[in-house]
Structure 1
């Protein structure tokens, strides 16, 4: 599941906007001041930070500066009631991914979030597939329409192998080597069991059986 840190000190805006985010199946952590936001960023991992600039105990720009200076992959969207060009330019000069001026529509913010996540997913994930299916190599997760499919590590590695080389049909033995290296001594039919479990978790049949060989990523799904 996509994780979002939401820094906003106005309770009504925070509550309403967070509910909209949760309706899109985002995992939202809400904080009310810059100090708490910095603590969360330093001690946990987020895909996106939505940061109000004018908050207590610092500024959203302080949080943005930390995210960028720490080489974090967390994307950023800045919120502020200040519509002046100088503040916007300052945020963009600090490499903010987007900027939304208050008052804003929660639905518009959701669209901005989707756009930013699409860009950052393309940059940070080695494999991206059509129809909302993509993998994140760094966190060993598979998502469909921003919802984690909860694959096991072996299932993830199997699907990752097939997605990386969609033109290739893999034998069971080849897949075992990709998943277990030389450590597995059991029956190669374990691959069939993993494929069966993956198919149950995927919204479409993205794994094709190749008779007499093994399995291949199904580009027609």
Structure 2
């Protein structure tokens, strides 16, 4: 069953909207302030969070920022009577999936929920191919089950290169060009050293040796 966190401090909106969501067989956990919502996030795993921005004891944006910084994988929809561009941009800069301006139709919100869940299902299908591995191209960080792997830049670029073209086997020379560009002069066996160190940090055997060629990403890592 889909689990939804609903942060809303207006009793009527909270009651009516929750009833609509439960009619769609969603399991809804309600919070009336930011502190209560934070405690729920820390103790339960949700598929999606619907967060009113202006609430007591904090803000829905505070919760959104916590979700983003903690690398918690859930969809997020912001609710607010604030329709100004600055507030919306702040929400989307914190990677909100959608933004709904009050007053809103509960039926429309249900459609927004369905849309976010569909996008999440596509992402989940892609993530399954990684067997728990997640690569953030923007921050040059890699995670396994939301825990950072603490890779060096060279290790990250090596893993990123292999993953992005997982069907391809790379030679050591090709990997050097991807990681160091053509300014590097030295033994191509430096790649072997990086692979050795990277394998020690990876929880699964994500890198396989291709005899006579070099290395390739292993989708069937275990």
When residues 176 and 11 of structure 1 are mapped into structure 2, their CA distance, relative to the original with a 3 A threshold, is closer
SS of the equivalent of 1:142 reads strand
Could you tell me how far apart the structure 1 residues matched to 2:199 and 2:84 are? 40
Bigger CA radius of gyration = 2
Could you tell me how far apart the structure 2 residues matched to 1:12 and 1:70 are? 19
Could you tell me how far apart the structure 1 residues matched to 2:55 and 2:161 are? 42
Could you tell me how far apart the structure 2 residues matched to 1:96 and 1:183 are? 49
Partner of 2:171: 171
Could you tell me how far apart the structure 1 residues matched to 2:141 and 2:84 are? 26
Partner of 1:10: 33
Unaligned runs of 5+ in 1: 1-5, 23-30, 54-58, 79-84, 100-114
When residues 67 and 203 of structure 1 are mapped into structure 2, their CA distance, relative to the original with a 3 A threshold, is farther
Partner of 2:189: 189
Partner of 1:137: 137
Point out the more displaced range, 181-190 or 204-213.
181-190
**Please, what is the CA RMSD of the aligned residues?**
4.6
Could you tell me how far apart the structure 2 residues matched to 1:152 and 1:118 are? 30
SS of the equivalent of 1:14 reads helix
When residues 171 and 70 of structure 1 are mapped into structure 2, their CA distance, relative to the original with a 3 A threshold, is same
When residues 40 and 17 of structure 1 are mapped into structure 2, their CA distance, relative to the original with a 3 A threshold, is closer
When residues 17 and 142 of structure 1 are mapped into structure 2, their CA distance, relative to the original with a 3 A threshold, is same
Shift of 1:74: 0.9
Point out the more displaced range, 189-198 or 140-149.
140-149
Could you tell me how far apart the structure 1 residues matched to 2:84 and 2:41 are? 20
Partner of 2:201: 201
Could you tell me how far apart the structure 1 residues matched to 2:168 and 2:142 are? 20
Unaligned runs of 5+ in 2: 1-5, 8-30, 46-53
TM-score, normalization by structure 2: 0.56
When residues 184 and 116 of structure 1 are mapped into structure 2, their CA distance, relative to the original with a 3 A threshold, is farther
Is 1:160 matched with 2:167?
no
CA contact (8 A) 2:151 2:198 kept: yes
Could you tell me how far apart the structure 2 residues matched to 1:70 and 1:12 are? 19
Shift of 1:12: 6.1
CA contact (8 A) 2:33 2:56 kept: no
TM-score, normalization by structure 1: 0.57
For residue 88 of structure 1, the aligned residue among 96, 101, 106 is 106
Could you tell me how far apart the structure 1 residues matched to 2:94 and 2:123 are? 10
Partner of 2:220: 220
CA distances 1:5-32 after superposition (whole Å, capped 9, x unpaired): x97663762353143169xxxxxxxx96
> How many residues are treated as equivalent by the alignment?
177
Partner of 1:75: 96
